[in-house]
Structure 1
Amino acid sequence: MESESSASSNAAECGATSAKGLSPQYAFWWGVILLLIGALLGAGLMRAFQPTRTVVPKRTGPLPVYGSVSDFTLTERAGDEVSRDDLMGRVWIADFFFTSCAGICPIMSSAMEGIQTRLADVDGVTLVSISVDPERDTPERLRQYAKRYHADDAGWWFLTGDKHVIYQLSQDSFRLSVEETPPDKRSAEVEDVLHSSKFVLLDQQSRIRGYYDGDDKDDLELLIADVKDLLKE
C-alpha cells in the first residue's frame, strides 16, 4: 500500500510539474539563451543595413613607374597653347574623353569633378582632360563642357589639338587604346570614338605612376590617396 501511495504521490508531483511548466532554474537559463540569440540577430541586422565603408588598401612600397609621357603641345580651352613642360613639377591626373560622348564620358567627368572637390585644398595638382574628337571639340565647345562640371580654370585643363598628335599621345605615351569608329558602324549604342575609361596618375617628372578605373569608387579613393603620397616624394 505504501508503494502504491508513493507511486501515486510521485505521479501527482510529476503532473504538477508538467502543469506549471519548467522549474525557475530552467526558465532562467532559457531566458538567457533567448536574449543572446536576439542580441546576435540584432547585431547582424544592424551591420547589414549600415553603409559600406570604403577601405583603401595599404601600399607596401613606392608607386611603380610605367614610363614617361613624351612632350606634346595642345590647345587649352582658354585658347592658350600648353605643353608637357607646363606640367613639370606638378602631380597631374589625365583622362581622354570627347564632349559629344553619351556613354562613359559624363561618368568620368563627374568623377573628375569629385576629385577636384576632394583635392581643392591640395597644392601642386592639375587635372587634364584631353579630347579624342578634336575636330569637333573646339576651345569654345570645351569651355561650355567645362562649365557643366564646374571646372576650375587653372586647376582643370581641357585640351584639344591635332588628332594625330592626340591619338599618338594616347596610344604610345599613355598606353591607352583609342580608335575612331567607321561611319557605317556608328549608332546610338556605338560611340563615334572608342577610348579608354582609365584615369592616369603622373608625377612631377610626367612619369606614369598609376592607372585607375574612372567609374570605380574604390579605384578613385586609391587614386586620391596615391596623389597625396606622390606629393610627399
Structure 2
Amino acid sequence: MSTKKTNYSYIGIAFILLVFGIIFIPKIINRIKGGDVTRTESRSKNVSINAEGYVSDLMFLEINGEPKKVPPFSFVNQNGKTITNKDFEGKVYVVEFFFTTCPSICPRMNRNLVQIQNTFSDFEDFGVASFTINPDYDTQEILKTYAEKYGINNPNWHLMTGDKEVVYALANVGFNIYAGENPNVEGGFEHSGNFALIDKNGFMRSRKDDFGNPKIFYKGIISEEEKEDEDGETEEISLLKEDIAKLLKED
C-alpha cells in the first residue's frame, strides 16, 4: 500500500475516472446518459423526500443535473447471504473499499468505522457497506473472521465479496472511490482511504467545502483522537458522525 500522502491524491484520480465512466460506461451509473459532471446543491423533484419532513443541509452530488444514486449491486456478505443495494433502502450507510490483508490504511479505516458503529448502535436504520478489492482471497469465511476480529456486530454492516471486475467498476465508476491492483506497492493493491455517505433514498450526500461545493467524501484514515496526521490533514470522522445523525432524521 502506498503512503497516506499518496492516498489523498487518489481523490483527483477518482474525478478522472468519474469522467471516463460517464463517457464510456454509462449503464453502470443510474440514470446517466453521458456528459459533464456538475457539483451543485439540489432539492429537485428527482429526490424523493417528504416535503413535510425534515431535510438536512447536506448536499447531493449531481450528474447531468440529477442527484447521483447508488448503482445496483449484488454480492455475498460475511454470513454467506446475498446482499444488494435494496437491502440498504431506508437506511443511512457508509461505503468503504478495503481488503483484509491490507498492511496499512484498512485497519485504521475499520477501527474508525467500528467507533461509528458503536456511536449509532441504537439506530436500526444505520449500516455500513464494505466491499473487498481482493475477492480472490477474501472469501465469505475470511470476511467473517475479519468481522469478528474487529468487533463488527451491526446486522446492517455487510462485508461483501464477488467478481473482481464488478467490484472495481463499482468503486471507480459507481462511487468514484479509487481502487486497483498494483504489484509494486505493499499488499498488492492500492485504494482510497475515503468513505462515501449514502442517504435513506440511495443518494450520495455530503457537506459543503469552503467553496460551497459538496465535499463528496470523508477521510477515513485519521481518527478523532489523532485530530490530524503528520501531513497536517485533519480528521473527518467527527464530521461524518454529525452528518450521519442529520440524515437519520430525514424521512
What is the TM-score normalised by the length of structure 1?
0.69
Q: Does structure 1 residue 199 correspond to structure 2 residue 195?
A: yes
Equivalent AA in structure 1 for residue 159 of structure 2? F
Equivalent AA in structure 1 for residue 242 of structure 2? A
Given that residues 132 and 138 in structure 2 are in contact (C-alpha distance below 8 angstroms), is that contact kept between their aligned partners in structure 1?
A: yes
Unaligned runs of at least 5 residues, structure 1:
1-60
Deviation at 1:140, TM superposition (A): 0.2
Select 1:220's aligned residue among 226, 237, 241. Answer: 237
Deviation at 1:62, TM superposition (A): 1.5
CA distance in 2, matches of 1:68, 1:192: 30
Q: What is the RMSD computed on CA atoms of the aligned residues?
A: 1.3
CA distance in 2, matches of 1:99, 1:202: 23
Q: Which residue of 1 aligns with 2:123?
A: 122
Deviation at 1:128, TM superposition (A): 1.5
Deviation at 1:191, TM superposition (A): 2.8
- Once the two structures are superposed, the pairs formed by residues 51-200 of structure 1 within 5 Å of their partners are 62-66=57-61, 67-152=68-153, 154-182=155-183, 185-186=184-185, 190-200=186-196
CA distance in 1, matches of 2:82, 2:124: 23
Deviation at 1:152, TM superposition (A): 1.0
Equivalent AA in structure 2 for residue 124 of structure 1? D
Q: Secondary structure at the match of 1:179?
A: strand
Cα deviation, 1:28-55, whole Å, max 9, x if unaligned, reads xxxxxxxxxxxxxxxxxxxxxxxxxxxx
CA distance in 1, matches of 2:73, 2:156: 19
Q: How many percent of aligned residue pairs carry the same amino acid?
A: 32
Q: Does structure 1 residue 229 correspond to structure 2 residue 225?
A: no
Cα deviation, 1:41-81, whole Å, max 9, x if unaligned, reads xxxxxxxxxxxxxxxxxxxx621111211001011111111
Given that residues 78 and 144 in structure 2 are in contact (C-alpha distance below 8 angstroms), is that contact kept between their aligned partners in structure 1?
A: yes
CA distance in 1, matches of 2:77, 2:154: 10
Equivalent AA in structure 2 for residue 222 of structure 1? L
Deviation at 1:153, TM superposition (A): 5.2
What is the TM-score normalised by the length of structure 2?
0.64
Deviation at 1:215, TM superposition (A): 1.9
Q: Secondary structure at the match of 1:141?
A: helix
Greater helix content: 1
Given that residues 117 and 154 in structure 2 are in contact (C-alpha distance below 8 angstroms), is that contact kept between their aligned partners in structure 1?
A: no
CA distance in 2, matches of 1:157, 1:114: 16
Deviation at 1:123, TM superposition (A): 2.9
Q: Secondary structure at the match of 1:99?
A: coil
CA distance in 1, matches of 2:129, 2:180: 20
Q: Secondary structure at the match of 2:236?
A: helix
Deviation at 1:122, TM superposition (A): 2.3
Cα deviation, 1:151-204, whole Å, max 9, x if unaligned, reads 11513211000111110000111111111013xx24xxx231101100111001
